[in-house]
Amino acid sequence: MEASIPEQVIQPLLLASDSSHSLDECLQFLIEASKTDSGRSDLASKADILPSILALLQLLPYPSSRHHLNLSLKVLRNLCAGETRNQEAFVDHNGSLVISELLDSAIGDAETVRFGLQVLANVVVMGENRQRDVWLRFFPERFLAIAKVRRLETCDPLCMILYVCFDGSSEIASQLSSDDGLNIIAETMRAVGSVEYYWLKLLVSRLCVEGDCFPGLFSKLANHKDSTFTSDHAFLLSMVSDIVNERLKEVSIPKDTAHFVLGLLSQSVQVFDFASAETSELPTGSAVIDVMGYSLVVIRDACAGGSIEELKNDSSGGNVDMLLSSGLIELLLDLLRKLEPPTTIKKALKQSPSSGKPCPYRGFRRDIVAVIGNCAYRRKEVQDEIRERDGLFLMLQQCVTDDENPFLREWGLWCVRNLLEGNEENQKVVAELEMQGSVDVPQLREIGLRVEIDPLTSRPKLVNDTT
């Protein structure tokens, strides 16, 4: 094989490696030498090294020369790591074309594809011209073919290339947000299953949290043979949920995304029969339960923040308005009423087996209460709606500990405080409930309130507890 390689290709490599031995030893030497900045710089000063490696990649047949092709890709990868002269030489000598032709031949070989993608990743990080060179050669067909390999080891370098190109060019960003681009992202997500790769998460953050691609990408993950939710749907929602929570003070999801997520919550509630329950927290492994839970958590964080007045210049205020006008409170109260009482109340009442339904996952009740509490914060229309829907007594019942809902009591107190703050009608209803013995809420003292009889009206009322 080595005898068939032209001398003008192999001789520069042998000289650079100070080797008169085999091609294998020569390439191994160059791999080690190119691992350091000084080594890459020294090899870059020898103008014929990188072109010779590219020529070698074109000359060696796949798969019979797979070993030497992979070694050559490793050399090329290292040469292009932060070394501008080598990156420019890569572009000048049509490196993207060489890599694309090799990967076309080796598309089912995850290791060779991974090395090829690592080369491209090291090239695109150094500017828009290099990004455009790679993008024009690979988008969309070749990127899609690579994504369809569905191997974990090719996912991260592929996502790095996509993200860096997306971040560096508004034109490329528009193309990746298109139908063709979302097909690539969807195939990549199917490859990783439930593993949150760094670059994939960055892509989802830009496309689906900052951008408006979530509904489109979610639809791409559907199983067209089955109308129900898939594990890929649950994975995407879990990732979006994590990102929204981590960037709570930085970004607000687009209004169309918030509306779409509310639709997912409604649909999952309709599909799930509530006859069975998972004992674990999210993720449970059940696609429909996980979609339900992560939708609820995304909505919780979308509704977090101040009053409408405080958020009037913030798109998150618009999200809450839209969610409320779409029936969010009615849906959540109906869900709470469907559930069996919290364990503390069941024990106190010494009930026979309840006709209520179990929580579908550990923390479900808490998440519902958290959403209501966030929505009620200084929003009188929410406070009033819950009273008008006879929900105050129901919400008071959530101020207890529950074995299946960690921190329910804390969220319940937060919610009740928000429902009562500045709302005399709600305070009056709660005071009368306690005086009638319908409800015993010693926790009211923990949020600074107590019941006393108004001397003018002889009716109970809530007052600030200063004792």
- Per-residue pLDDT averaged across 221-236, rounded? 87
Q: Quick check: 330 pLDDT over 70? A: yes
The pLDDT tens digits of the residues spanning 262-317 come to 999 999 999 998 887 778 999 999 999 999 999 999 999 999 864 444 444 444 45
> Exposure pattern of 298-323 as b/e (b: 16+ CB <10 Å)?
bbbbbbbbeebeebeeeebbbbbebb
User: Nearest CA to 113 among 80, 50, 161, 165?
Assistant: 161
pLDDT of residue 313: 47
pLDDT of residue 80: 95
pLDDT of residue 315: 46
Out of 76-85, 140-149, 337-346, 455-464, which region has the weakest mean confidence (pLDDT)?
A: 455-464
The pLDDT tens digits of the residues spanning 375-385 come to 999 999 999 99
Band (445; pLDDT cuts 50, 70, 90): low
Out of 68-77, 277-286, 404-413, which region has the weakest mean confidence (pLDDT)?
A: 277-286
Whole-Å CA distances, 382 to 68, 127, 265, 433, 441: 68, 50, 20, 20, 22
Give the Cα separation of 82 and 126 in Å (integer): 8
Percent pLDDT > 90 in the chain is 66
The pLDDT tens digits of the residues spanning 201-224 come to 999 999 999 999 999 999 999 987
Angle of CA points 301, 304, 310, to nearest 5°: 145
Assigned fold of 1-138 = Leucine-rich Repeat Variant (1.25.10)
Q: Where along the chain do the CATH 1.25.10.10 domains lie?
A: 1-138
pLDDT of residue 250: 87
User: Nearest CA to 65 among 7, 121, 105?
Assistant: 105
The pLDDT tens digits of the residues spanning 2-11 come to 557 888 888 8
The pLDDT tens digits of the residues spanning 352-371 come to 555 689 999 999 999 999 99
Sign of CA dihedral 185, 191, 193, 194: negative
The pLDDT tens digits of the residues spanning 121-167 come to 999 998 888 899 999 999 999 999 999 988 889 999 999 999 999 99
Angle of CA points 348, 406, 355, to nearest 5°: 45
